[in-house]
Structure formats: C-alpha cells, structure tokens
Amino acid sequence: MLPRTAAGYGRGLVLSILAVGNAVLLGLTAVVFLLCFGIGLIFLFPPLVRAVRGRTRQARRLSAAWSGVEIAAPYRQAPPPPMPQRDGWYRDGRQLYRTSMIPAFNRTWNWMIKDPATWRDFAWLTTEPLVGGLLAATPLAMLGYGLVLVGGWQPMGVLTGLVLIALSVYLAPRVIRVHGLWTRLLLAPTARAGLTNAMRHLTQVHTEAVDSQAAELRRIERDLHDGAQARLVAIGMTLGAAEELMDSDPNAAKALLAKVREASAASLVELRQLVRGIHPPVLAERGLGDAVRAMALDSPLKVTVSVDLPSRPDAPVESAAYFVISELLANASRHSDARTVSVDISHRRSAMRVTVVDDGHGGADPSRGSGLRGIERRLAAFDGVLALNSPPGGPTLATVDLPRAFLVEGCGGSDLPTWRLRLMGVCWGLFWLPLFPQGLVAMFFKIFNSPERSWFLALYLPPILQWPTIIGMIALGVVMVVFAAKSAALAKEKDSEPIT
C-alpha cells in the first residue's frame, strides 16, 4: 500500500508540473495561431502541430505506463512526398513548381488541418492545465492542507485534517487512473477515425496478401518447372530411347527403363514435397496439433509440443499457424544453433496463442530477416501479431496471437447485467459533476476563502457542514469513476476468459 501511495504522490507531482508546461505550450499555441491566421505566417503551423503531437504522444505513453490505460494514436496517415513529373517539374493542383518545397508544404498543411485528431489535441491542451493539472494535484493539496489543519491543534480542524489526509492517501494511487481515463476521453481515436484506420489497415493487408499469393504462385511455378517438369521431360526422352533399343539391344533398353523407374520415384518425392509445402495432407486430415507433432518428428531438433485447443480453427487460420510454426522451427535450426525447442498451442475463448521457445544464441530481429517479415505479413491477414523476445545469448521467445481463430458463442458480447451496463453509462456521463465543480473546485474555493460561492452547493451550507459535503462530493465522483472503470474491466475480462 505504501509504495503505491508514494508512487501516486510522485506521479501526481510530475503530472502537475507537466500541466504547467502545457499551460506554457498553450500560450505559445495562442501566439502562433495569431501569427498564422492573423498575419499569414502559416509556415509556423506545421512545427506547432508537431510540438503538440509530441506532447500528446508523451501523455499517451505515461497513461499506458502509469495508469494502465492504453490510448492508440488517432492520426491519419502522413501523405507521401511529391514526385516530379517527367520534365522534372512538380505539380500541385494547377500550379507547377521547380522544387518540391511548396507542394510538400501544401500536402502537410492539408493533412494536419483536415485531421480531426489535430483539433482534439488542441482541445486537450486547452483543458489539460485546468482539469488534468487540478486532478493530479488534488491528493497533494489535500495532504498539505490536512497537515496544516492538524498543525493548528483546533479540534474541528484536526478532525477535518485527518479526514483530508486519509482521503488523500486513498486517492493518491487512484487519481492517476482517473487522469488516464480523462486523457483517453480526448486523445483516443474517434469511431470514425477507428474505422478509417481499420480500412487503411485492411487495404494494406489486402495488398500484402495479394503480393504474397503472387510470390507463392511464382515459387510453385518455379519448382514445377525446374523440378518435376524437367524430370518428366527426361523420363519421356529416356522412354523414347528405350523404345528404339528394345529390338536391337534389349539389355540397354532394360537399363534405361530402370533409370526411368528411379526418375519417376524421385519425381513423386518432389511432387509430395511440393504438395506438403502448399497444404500438408496431415494438416487437412488430422488438424493442427498432429501436423505440428509430425513436423517435430521430422525436425533435427528436440521438439516438445503441447496443444490445448477446444476444436479445429478455421482452415485458413490453421494453415497460417502451421506455416508460422514451421518457419520458426526452421529459423531455430538454421540461425540460432538451438538444440531444443518447445511449442505450446493454447487458446482463450476465440483467440489462439502459439508460443515457441528455443535455447539458441538469440539475436533474432525481424528487421534483418525476411522469414520473420514473412510471418508478420502472413499473420496480418488475420489481425494476428508476432511478439519476439530474443536477447543476445538467448533464449528466443516468439509469441503469436491470432485473435479470432475460433467461432465461439457469445465471444463478441458482454455478459454483464443490463442494470450494471446502464449504471456504468450513467457514472461515465455524470462523474464530473460531483468530482469537479461540486468537489475539487469548491475545495479550492474553501481553502483560499474565496467570497465567490457561485453554484457550489457546499459553500451555501453552514460552516460545520461545508467540509463534509465537499469530501462527500469528491468521494462520490471517485466512486462513480471506480465503479465505471471496474465494470468496463469486468466486461473485458469476461470477454477474454477461457472456454470451459
């Protein structure tokens, strides 16, 4: 408990300092906006956007590391650089330019100013100094003011101070989570941006799948042309020679027929290997588990295979997983000098996970190996991912996740009761009302003895009830956020729990 509380105070202090930096960046943004749209210095806009995106990128990274709230980047894909025409000029609309500077700037300008994520970043930068900074500094402010009240040695002040200190200790680690949720509220991709990114990803995957299929067809054609076809032509020529020698030299004809038999046997072996490379018969007949075990028997390494699958996955997914395992075993044999390899195939509801561990010298890097790149391209068609951990000296751990390998009833919905889902929506929509205006803002007005009471409920009550009301409002807002966050986490957990 103590390390979490101390970490909460430290992270809250860092976030408060960053909120002050955000206020400075906001002031700079206002000046640049005035220069850009007031007197036309539009060349200052792209550097400003890059600076703000650098700050929001840091906010997303801190949110994932400190609060466990993952926030994906919502930006549209950057435009490609302008290419010159055959005459060396660059076209931008109806204008021609000798250099690419102005066309490149126009593309960057349109990309940034038409991206909704740009304006969401500016909205976050505008509100973060007040909302995020105030939220992050609340536990420290409550702790400091509570210590001041306790030091005054007034009975009511000591009691209020102890309550503030206890509430501060309770909130310190939890406020960081709330801050992460607040950050995700503005910086996460919108539904439209998510669909746009998904369409872009599908287009890229489709292109890579077509290219991979074309490369595979070229490989099959090359293998048939250089292998089986050449042998069949040789068999035909040998049979013709044997036919001519059948009457004049029967012994020579028999020798040629023996060579034909050997060549036909070799051709059959090559055809079987080619078919096995396209789709192994054991995979089609016995499934992924037995196919991987058969592959392990043919491997020069000592391979142990563990399979825990509820049923056979879809045939394309099964084939992709088989060839991924085959490539990983081949890499372990050829490049890592491994002796033993363990293959574990498991599942969680509709997802399948393949884990391959070898005791080689490590150092595998997808950027330097075409085989690992091929695995990533093969998995991309099924939204699968490859996670590789291969430090120098080994061991190498490769984990493959295929998220939709099985058709499972109910795997796409939530098992939470309807009342809880509705209450979770109410908590997400209204938590800010007791937490901020009626709680945190009223608390700061009370601390600094502001004569302005505005619409803060607690400040209209008798003095003896003001602090309990403020603390109660803050507690109510925190409870609403915690309930909504836990309900969302429970729904996600139920969606990913193992099949029974």
Hey, where are the domains in the chain? 2-76+115-189, 197-278, 286-402, 418-496
Which helix H or strand E contains 396, and what residues bound it?
strand 396-402
How many Å apart are CA 48 and CA 25, to the nearest integer?
9
Residue 132 has pLDDT above 80, yes or no: yes
pLDDT of residue 48: 93
| Residue 166 confidence (pLDDT) above 60 | yes
Output the CA torsion sign for 471, 474, 477, 483. negative
Burial degree of 461 (CB within 10 A; 0-12, 13-18, 19+): middle
CA-based radius of gyration for the chain: 33
- Mean pLDDT for 479-490 is 80
Q: pTM surpassing 0.75?
A: no
Q: What is the pLDDT of residue 411?
A: 43
Residue 247 to residues 218, 251, 261, Cα–Cα distance (Å): 44, 10, 20
Distances in whole angstroms, Cα of residue 491 to Cα of each of 61, 232, 352, 451, 486: 24, 61, 20, 46, 9
Residue 121 has pLDDT above 90, yes or no: yes
Task: Report pLDDT for 177.
Answer: 87
As a whole number, mean pLDDT of residues 230-248 equals 79
pLDDT band for position 211 (cuts 50, 70, 90) = low
**For the chain, percent of residues with pLDDT exceeding 90:** 13
Question: Residue 29: pLDDT above 70?
Answer: yes
Report strand pairing: 340-348 vs 385-389: unpaired
Q: Would you state the pLDDT for residue 216? A: 65
Across residues 413-435, what is the average pLDDT? 76
Residue 278, pLDDT score: 61
> Given this model, what pLDDT does residue 27 score?
92
Average pLDDT of span 290-300 = 85
CA distances from 416 to 122, 194, 272, 376, 429 (A): 36, 25, 52, 35, 19
| CATH number corresponding to 286-402 | 3.30.565.10
User: Is 286 or 495 the better-scoring residue by pLDDT?
Assistant: 286
Q: Where are the beta strands (DSSP E) in 286-326?
A: 302-307
> Quick one: pLDDT at residue 108?
92
Count of CB atoms situated within 10 Å of the CB of 167: 19
pLDDT given at position 492 = 64
pLDDT in the model for residue 202 = 67
What residues form DSSP beta bridges with 346?
A: 353
Task: Tell me the range of 63-77, 244-258, 382-396 where mean pLDDT is highest.
Answer: 63-77
Interval 365-385 mean pLDDT: 74
Residue 367 pLDDT > 80: no
pLDDT band (50, 70, 90) for residue 460: confident
Residue 36 confidence (pLDDT): 87
Instruction: Report the pLDDT value the prediction gives residue 247, as an integer from 0 to 100.
Output: 75
What pLDDT is stored for residue 69 in this prediction?
86
What does pLDDT average to over the chain? 81
Q: Tell me how far the alpha carbon of residue 154 is from its chain's centroid.
A: 54
- H and E: helices and strands count for the chain: 17, 7
Q: Is 499 a residue whose pLDDT tops 50?
A: no
| pLDDT at residue 223 is higher than 90 | no
User: Closest Cα to residue 106, out of 85, 76, 74, 82?
Assistant: 82
